[in-house]
Structure 1
């Protein structure tokens, strides 16, 4: 197995093997590279145009972080059409693992054999075999996560990679000359992502990074990749605090009165954050259409937001506020402020009822600094939920290519996330994009938490929440538990236990619950707090489910997370389920248990201590 670099320069020949249009790999640009030095930290190449290409490799105990830097020391502009973040050849594998993702159905594990993907060399090694996948736009987790794992089942060897890219990306699996595979990934290229970049003499460009892990199981390599992520967790959010988000209580119609009602009910319940979601702004046109106008709706909040935030704090909780700061709704006063909105081919990009601010525009940054950051400061909010509910698409004007325009504008969005933290150092930032469309590492490193999904009340919630263990830290994965007055005890257990797979986020009709229902919730809160250390610092050693449909899940799911001599075991039963096999209790004794997995759509959780 060997690390190397793939690139394609505009003037160079494409590869043969019937691959043109499917890949830009193996071009003359790559073949002409001469390796001039190699160390543990870097491999340096040079070509005849006096371009220097450096593959940076940073090794830790468990992972290797790689990226590629292109430096133009020549006399003419170089036009890059593709530059890999990572490229590895000579991999022996017979299985491919990917994570599929659609709205409210994030992270489904897809496992295929090399034969399934038709990735075996041609009879005379003439034809290139390629499986290429990725995502276009500003929602990087759509269809697939930027993740790949290859398995050699004969030797139980796994290699897995995560790309740190918040915009268009691609990964390729290739086979040509022998039975081994190559994998290459990075920014979506000229063919796939409408991207090329001009590098003038004395200029350079460095790709987004990728992190690579090796191990003996999918659990092991995923755990290594997740633990390699270095999120900027707010100091006040390191204790796994519980939040209440009122969206599934008011459905986009919050007000001072209903926030007071919620606050009074949550007082002394062990909830740390109370988040005001969408609909606090605008002029009663509906929360979706008014996005972009961050003027407080005084009909709903007489006296302004600070009055509400102060009341939440008086009740012992940290107030939070929702924004979709990068977008503009159809009823916004800024809908036709076209000088500052993104365009493609000179035409304002309109997607449904959304348009998009140019986040690299100083006017936009100034406007949002006042509308977002100053509002948070003046009203003493300690938490911001940043939502993002549409995608820019293939790209935008403002650079030499649509793909580069997109990359630059999404990077500017990330810089505004950093600006929020710089202005309010202890702010808790939640990364949300219609739930899970931005759950990639570079976005996760900017946030304390993230919405795991927009699956608010579906029976697939525990399935999606378990999926997230493979790609993000459970301590960042905020999971809905929506309480309804009509909920049975079984349903309350099912919902609350789902949150033990990450961070607990309550919502719903909490002021209509009976004392018995509240008793069950409070018991669940106590269990969660006792399990918090395992959720935060443990290792997921089993995710066992046989579910195929997320709308009508059948079977059962068992998740085991371990920390030293303790275990957290979470079981959910779906339709046509079997009794949960409790072999995991062998050699362990029960510290605490919660719920009852005795029928379809029931759940139970155990905290266990090893007997030895």
Structure 2
């Protein structure tokens, strides 16, 4: 087999693996033409392993490991949509299968590795890659550190999806003139139980010479890691779930055991970063669990933001419920606080029984009022946590909670349930079944702590305990939806701290943020589709009575190309403000089929936090929907490049506010739309229809 080449896939996602003289596999090409394949001696193995007792690679990097270098080719199976590469470690008996799978018709590959112990002695895994690619920036032209750009998305409370693009040199990787590899790396790590608490579990590498961008997303609801660095005068990428070095994860594989790494989806586009991010959208839709909500996309009202702020009560809710129904909302979710007689309930949650003082007529009477007005009743729930002052903390066995060194982990007055334990699952099953029996058809699953490295109960390391819980949580949600197939579950974690496609393959909706300011919401709403299918991206529309009509309309535009989440005080709005909201919901209902099908685009680029002008659109067949915001500064006009419409005759109308003329000019030859908004804080949803087929 030495010298053989395995070529699989279709441009731009081709995978080429060559065997060296010792039958060691090397990934010599990813998306590369045959003439640009790496020499086998300069390529990395397709899987990187770190084992306890085996020599480690240079510095803190996860490539060039001794265990990986031992792997030998053991066969492969290939079909049009799947490549399985089988490897073996002759020293330990480990069998490794690297799988590359095409994601339906989307230009996306999904990758993971399986490691089985076919030997006679236990082996401790310390790192298993899901995706390793080398050779970035190799070839003629500038040195790879000058040629490449790395992109990542910063995530913070109320400031989500903020993409940054930098050169490797900006982050300390320099051309130091060494022929081999240095010990440096650029590393991004998701810690604990909030996979997008600091950064999205995603990233991108763009080659400025070719214009090609490679984008990946880590489809895991816990700890993750990716790094980029140099390997023999070019760049490499290594992507994984939890690791020993970063997360206290290790897994002892006893003879007969198998470990599965977390899946990673990867795509590439010759049209740059925004196009590559958009290309992930069909994949995100394809891997979702089927659910009626995915098609219906009902408008949700939630009483939290700029409304009751976690302090609901019967007399407060009734006028808001009536106003929400009148405006056209189709789901009404009562947010946090419904279970406590006290305003300060942080450390007492976990029993999830309705408060008698907040609901003197009983919570069911409020839920019945919601249903009688044609809306689906919903409730907020934080299922995984139990407050230290909750009676449930003493009712469940100690083993049902995360522990370290024999003590429960106390994170800001909360304990974390471990869903590997049957008592934890039984408690939550009983809770959800009880609420559904009350008529609840919508649950908002929130999560407001980060439990850290994990639990060392029944685990080889705290990180392994967390990984086991992460996977048990997903199984619990699957079982829940099997039992209650009509139940809709929203994912939330203090806003967007759980934005990952392990979670979102099961939850219909993702909260994007808890940002309460309508102007600061703009860049969040416009960038959410970089990480979430548009119809899953719950964006707050929460106008306040003190806002002008123009500002109220801007609030509405924030949600029109995502999943409309209404809040604020509709019962206190003026007639004109209320009409602006109600007409916006009517427009959303007419257009939500296009939201469900459209592919994202960003004419002015991915939005910056302080940009004066922001734009975001969806294209579906002959229609392009385009949200345009002006946030208080700059020129009265903005140019919006729309290359997919270049050369087409285009009809431009204002979809919202309806029947409002918008000053615009369409340059057919250049494919540029110029829009003028004289008001310094204003937004419009434009509908562009072209008169000839356009290649997408």
Shorter-chain TM range is over 0.9
- Structure 1 unmatched ranges of 5 or more: none
Matched, 1:516 2:583: no
The answer to which of 86-95 and 114-123 deviates more is 114-123
Given candidates 452, 456, 464, the residue that maps to 2:516 is 456
Alpha-carbon distance between aligned partners in 2 of 1:592 and 1:290, rounded to the nearest angstrom? 49
- 2:567 maps to what in 1? 507
Matched, 1:587 2:649: yes
The answer to whether the Cα contact below 8 Å between 1:557 and 1:571 also exists between their aligned partners in 2 is yes
Alpha-carbon distance between aligned partners in 2 of 1:70 and 1:437, rounded to the nearest angstrom? 30
Matched, 1:310 2:368: yes
- 1:394 maps to what in 2? 453
Change (3 A) 1:151 1:236: closer
- 1:30 maps to what in 2? 68
The answer to whether the Cα contact below 8 Å between 1:577 and 1:599 also exists between their aligned partners in 2 is no
Matched, 1:100 2:154: yes
C-alpha deviation, 1:131, in angstroms: 1.0
The answer to which of 576-585 and 285-294 deviates more is 576-585
Change (3 A) 1:98 1:37: same
- CA offsets 1:215-260 (integer angstroms, 9 cap, x no match): 1222222122232122225214512211110113222122233332
C-alpha deviation, 1:42, in angstroms: 1.1
Matched, 1:142 2:180: no
Alpha-carbon distance between aligned partners in 2 of 1:159 and 1:91, rounded to the nearest angstrom? 10
Secondary structure of the corresponding residue to residue 413 of structure 1: helix
Alpha-carbon distance between aligned partners in 1 of 2:603 and 2:529, rounded to the nearest angstrom? 9
- 2:621 maps to what in 1? 564
The answer to whether the Cα contact below 8 Å between 2:47 and 2:68 also exists between their aligned partners in 1 is yes
Alpha-carbon distance between aligned partners in 2 of 1:68 and 1:59, rounded to the nearest angstrom? 15
Alpha-carbon distance between aligned partners in 1 of 2:556 and 2:151, rounded to the nearest angstrom? 30
Matched, 1:89 2:127: no
- CA offsets 1:526-571 (integer angstroms, 9 cap, x no match): 22223323322112222526865x4xx3421122321111111111
Given candidates 16, 31, 43, the residue that maps to 2:85 is 43
- 2:494 maps to what in 1? 434
Alpha-carbon distance between aligned partners in 2 of 1:56 and 1:120, rounded to the nearest angstrom? 33
C-alpha deviation, 1:458, in angstroms: 4.5
The answer to whether the Cα contact below 8 Å between 2:333 and 2:380 also exists between their aligned partners in 1 is yes
Matched, 1:609 2:677: no
- 1:109 maps to what in 2? 163
- 1:52 maps to what in 2? 95
C-alpha deviation, 1:387, in angstroms: 0.2
Alpha-carbon distance between aligned partners in 1 of 2:434 and 2:160, rounded to the nearest angstrom? 32
- 1:15 maps to what in 2? 57
Change (3 A) 1:469 1:205: same
The answer to which of 582-591 and 332-341 deviates more is 582-591
The answer to whether the Cα contact below 8 Å between 1:329 and 1:355 also exists between their aligned partners in 2 is yes
Secondary structure of the corresponding residue to residue 516 of structure 1: helix
- 1:222 maps to what in 2? 277
- 2:264 maps to what in 1? 210
C-alpha deviation, 1:591, in angstroms: 3.8
Matched, 1:75 2:120: yes
Alpha-carbon distance between aligned partners in 1 of 2:290 and 2:304, rounded to the nearest angstrom? 24
The answer to whether the Cα contact below 8 Å between 1:546 and 1:555 also exists between their aligned partners in 2 is no
- 1:182 maps to what in 2? 236
Alignment size in residue pairs: 603
- 2:300 maps to what in 1? 243
Alpha-carbon distance between aligned partners in 2 of 1:603 and 1:235, rounded to the nearest angstrom? 31
The answer to whether the Cα contact below 8 Å between 2:225 and 2:240 also exists between their aligned partners in 1 is yes
- CA offsets 1:342-376 (integer angstroms, 9 cap, x no match): 112222211222221122221111111112x2223
Alpha-carbon distance between aligned partners in 2 of 1:235 and 1:300, rounded to the nearest angstrom? 32
The answer to whether the Cα contact below 8 Å between 2:124 and 2:252 also exists between their aligned partners in 1 is yes
- 2:387 maps to what in 1? 329
Alpha-carbon distance between aligned partners in 1 of 2:568 and 2:578, rounded to the nearest angstrom? 13
Alpha-carbon distance between aligned partners in 2 of 1:197 and 1:259, rounded to the nearest angstrom? 50
- 2:464 maps to what in 1? 404
CA RMSD of superposed structures (Å): 2.0
Compute the TM-score of the two structures, normalised by the length of structure 1: 0.94
C-alpha deviation, 1:582, in angstroms: 5.3
The answer to whether the Cα contact below 8 Å between 2:526 and 2:615 also exists between their aligned partners in 1 is no
Secondary structure of the corresponding residue to residue 356 of structure 2: coil
The answer to whether the Cα contact below 8 Å between 1:278 and 1:287 also exists between their aligned partners in 2 is no
Secondary structure of the corresponding residue to residue 206 of structure 2: strand
Alpha-carbon distance between aligned partners in 1 of 2:57 and 2:652, rounded to the nearest angstrom? 61
- CA offsets 1:8-54 (integer angstroms, 9 cap, x no match): 110101123xx1xx223211101111112234311111112211111
C-alpha deviation, 1:164, in angstroms: 0.8
Matched, 1:168 2:223: yes
- 2:438 maps to what in 1? 379
The answer to whether the Cα contact below 8 Å between 2:61 and 2:184 also exists between their aligned partners in 1 is no
Secondary structure of the corresponding residue to residue 232 of structure 1: coil
The answer to whether the Cα contact below 8 Å between 1:546 and 1:556 also exists between their aligned partners in 2 is no
Matched, 1:471 2:528: no
- Structure 2 unmatched ranges of 5 or more: 1-28, 31-44, 138-146, 643-647, 663-676
The answer to whether the Cα contact below 8 Å between 2:631 and 2:682 also exists between their aligned partners in 1 is yes
C-alpha deviation, 1:292, in angstroms: 0.8
Change (3 A) 1:71 1:355: same
Secondary structure of the corresponding residue to residue 433 of structure 2: helix
Secondary structure of the corresponding residue to residue 116 of structure 1: helix
Matched, 1:6 2:44: no
Secondary structure of the corresponding residue to residue 350 of structure 1: coil
The answer to which of 472-481 and 287-296 deviates more is 287-296
The answer to which of 197-206 and 567-576 deviates more is 567-576
Alpha-carbon distance between aligned partners in 2 of 1:334 and 1:379, rounded to the nearest angstrom? 21
- 1:286 maps to what in 2? 344
- 1:539 maps to what in 2? 599
The answer to which of 250-259 and 43-52 deviates more is 250-259
- 1:485 maps to what in 2? 545
The answer to which of 239-248 and 73-82 deviates more is 239-248
